[in-house]
Structure 1
Amino acid sequence: MDKQQLAILEIAADWADRFDELNEAERRRLVTWLQDAPEHAQAFNRMRRLISDTALTEALEMADMNAAEPEPVQQSLRRPAAPRHSASRQPSIMARPLRRRQAMAAGLAGALAVPLAGYWLLHEDRSETSERTLHFASAVGERRHLTLPDGSGLLLDASSAVSVHFSDRRRRLVLEHGAARFDVRHDAERPFEVHTPMADMTALGTSFSVDHLSDASELRVFSGRVQLDAHDGGQLVLPARKWAQVNNASIRTGAFDPDMHQDWQNDWLDADSMRLGFAVERLARYSATPLKLDDPKLADLRFSGRFRLGEPMASLELIGALFGLQTKRRNGAVYLVRTDRG
């Protein structure tokens, strides 16, 4: 392994070791570094898998305990200075010795006695058994920006969850609930697939969003193309500026303007002949109090308009007024009810 390869591994090790601590600015710098060269993304992807090895973790913890003083940091590999607001972080995290990063990188070449970890990084394992799983979730009213191990961007809507299954042959994600936007880094050898109970979506080099609703899945393509395979057998390739909604009975399609219609990504519920049931589900992601329909038959009512997601109660009242409905609190939830029912 030459010095340039080792330097890349050391930088990848540093990013991987601090990944869960990165602030927004540092995550943007990571994305830039990943896009600079394919070797960067490959090293980072494998280092993330390496760091999950328990034997290596124990060895590195012992190395930290035995390190009396940090070794000098070369300027080219120095971490970005911490922003002012992060000054309260634990000093042991911010001053993690360089030898930890070097050990992670050099351990792949035998400096640490962790043969399996070294094998992960030094050899191309093309089998499905190398798959690693990550889980990401967001809280009520919270959206999360994340960088996936391959450098792709992930934006989670509020109250959403996704599991990420990456191997050297494929990139498979399961949208467990809620919605997400994916800005996919191209990799011809590893398809990028998103799965919901209603359909499978395969990116053909693109940026797109998927919404997992109770009885439907919605796909919006912002750039590139996405292949949609409905579980009932329907299939289509959706180009940019198109959307598709899949349920058990059909696939509805239409067009939208990505510059104007970002929907939840810009804090809005953009309804264009939207089902009332879907609107309540989406608003509920931003409400600490459960939002429900008093009568399931109300779910099929359709409406159009723009409503603020950050004010779910006010938006629910405005939407209900379109149909002569009112909000009522009972049993710890807020219901939309017909006025004649009280």
Structure 2
Amino acid sequence: MMASERAEIDSAAALWLERMRGPVQDSAVAASFDAWIAEDPRHVESYALMASLWQSEGLAQAACPTRAGNDNAAGLDAADARHGGVWGRRRWFGLAAGLAALAVAVPLGQGLFAPTHTYEASWGATREITLADGSHIQLSGGSRLSVRLTPWSREAELEKGEAFFDVAHEALRGFAVEAEGARVEVLGTAFDIDVLAGGRREVRVYRGLVQVAGESGAWRLPAGTGLILDGAHVRSLEGIGGDRPGWLDGWFDAQDTRLDRLIERLNRTSRIPVELDDPQLGELRVTGRFEMHRPQEIVETLAAIHGLSWSRDEGRYRIGRQ
């Protein structure tokens, strides 16, 4: 490869690195980056090199002499702010060309073909996961999550169930979670995603800021708020308190919640499944705070609230009409 072509790729990689370091990237930017990174294996190598050098001491040492030797650095930085970062990009071009010569000292292979790890929690149990980047994830019973960490991205997919994410902050890599067509993107925060039957997804933010993108649009959610995506219907959630969801402590707060939704959540923690004899009973509503580790008490309470009958047979609880 000619030196000019190498320099062009390195410059593009440096610009993408600068762009992807923003706090939240919209889906169009992410799609453009994915297309660029997949276009040529050399793009992967160059971006990984830029990322490695950005986090190394070598970058700071390379940048400091440039600033120290420029009496007009403060003025140029002010102009940079006024003109959308043009000088910053030019500075990156120079650094990219110079630092590319250090490629032999940077292990590029590590992470370029990072595997996807899949985690599952069995019904009636929760599972705690610590990722290599220091992020902590807790899965509710019956949940399945896939995670892939690369030098330039942190991607996860919640295939089913519920997960609480306490994401380690990084200046370079964001953290994105796909959940049944919804995409949640953050840098460092704590949030909960619940994938329910019928494609309903619920997102609650406990710390920081997230962006949620779905088929109906995109929304930014600060701590204490949330969103319910149910097909084309979207509903905001307010007044989310605490620093973690109640299910981590064995509780569920129902607010005019459908009976079948409550039972779906109960079955994630109960080792004895709960079933409705008539699916139409699932449309009944309930409000209250339930201790999810006491399934029989919940079944008794639900039956009393709505004048239903209940029984335990064949290793399960059944709720039906009287």
Q: TM-score, normalised by structure 2?
A: 0.62
CA distance in 2, matches of 1:143, 1:136: 11
1:225 corresponds in structure 2 to 209
1:319 corresponds in structure 2 to 302
CA distance in 2, matches of 1:151, 1:224: 17
Which of 123, 128, 143 is matched with 1:140 structurally? 123
Alignment of 1:283-298 (within 5 A): 283-298=266-281
Alignment of 1:205-284 (within 5 A): 205-215=188-198, 216-230=200-214, 232-259=215-242, 262-284=245-267
Question: Shift in Å at residue 167 of structure 1?
Answer: 1.5
CA distance in 2, matches of 1:304, 1:204: 34
SS at match of 1:187: coil
Question: Shift in Å at residue 201 of structure 1?
Answer: 1.0
Question: Shift in Å at residue 228 of structure 1?
Answer: 0.9
1:130–1:168 CA contact under 8 A, matched in 2: no
Question: Shift in Å at residue 195 of structure 1?
Answer: 1.4
Question: Shift in Å at residue 164 of structure 1?
Answer: 0.9
State which drifts further: 235-244 or 319-328. 319-328
1:140–1:287 CA contact under 8 A, matched in 2: yes
Alignment of 1:1-342 (within 5 A): 122-125=106-109, 130-215=113-198, 216-230=200-214, 232-259=215-242, 262-329=245-312, 332-339=315-322
- Superposed CA RMSD in Å reads 2.8
Aligned length: 222
Question: Shift in Å at residue 250 of structure 1?
Answer: 0.7
CA distance in 1, matches of 2:207, 2:138: 16
1:326–1:337 CA contact under 8 A, matched in 2: yes
CA distance in 2, matches of 1:199, 1:326: 38
SS at match of 1:165: strand
2:205–2:221 CA contact under 8 A, matched in 1: yes
SS at match of 1:282: helix
Query: Runs of 5+ in structure 2 lacking a partner?
Result: 1-51, 56-102
1:136–1:162 CA contact under 8 A, matched in 2: yes
2:207–2:223 CA contact under 8 A, matched in 1: yes
Q: 1:192 and 1:330, CA in 2 relative to 1: closer, same or farther beyond 3 A?
A: same
Q: 1:141 and 1:193, CA in 2 relative to 1: closer, same or farther beyond 3 A?
A: same
Question: Shift in Å at residue 137 of structure 1?
Answer: 1.7
1:143–1:157 CA contact under 8 A, matched in 2: yes
CA distance in 2, matches of 1:226, 1:283: 27
1:204–1:227 CA contact under 8 A, matched in 2: no
2:216–2:232 CA contact under 8 A, matched in 1: no
Can you list the C-alpha shifts for 1:177-201, whole angstroms capped at 9, x where unaligned?
2211111112243221111114111
SS at match of 1:132: coil
Q: Choose between structure 1 and 2 for higher RCO, CA contacts under 8 A separated by at least 6 residues.
A: 2
2:263–2:274 CA contact under 8 A, matched in 1: yes
1:194–1:201 CA contact under 8 A, matched in 2: yes
Q: TM-score, normalised by structure 1?
A: 0.59
State the one-letter code of the partner of 2:108. Answer: E
CA distance in 2, matches of 1:290, 1:143: 16
Can you list the C-alpha shifts for 1:186-241, whole angstroms capped at 9, x where unaligned?
224322111111411112421001111112111110011111112x2322111100
1:280–1:316 CA contact under 8 A, matched in 2: no
Deviating beyond 6 angstroms after TM superposition, the runs of 4 or more aligned structure 1 residues are: none
Question: Shift in Å at residue 141 of structure 1?
Answer: 2.6
Query: Runs of 5+ in structure 1 lacking a partner?
Result: 1-38, 43-118
SS at match of 2:162: strand
Can you list the C-alpha shifts for 1:266-287, whole angstroms capped at 9, x where unaligned?
1101111212111000101122
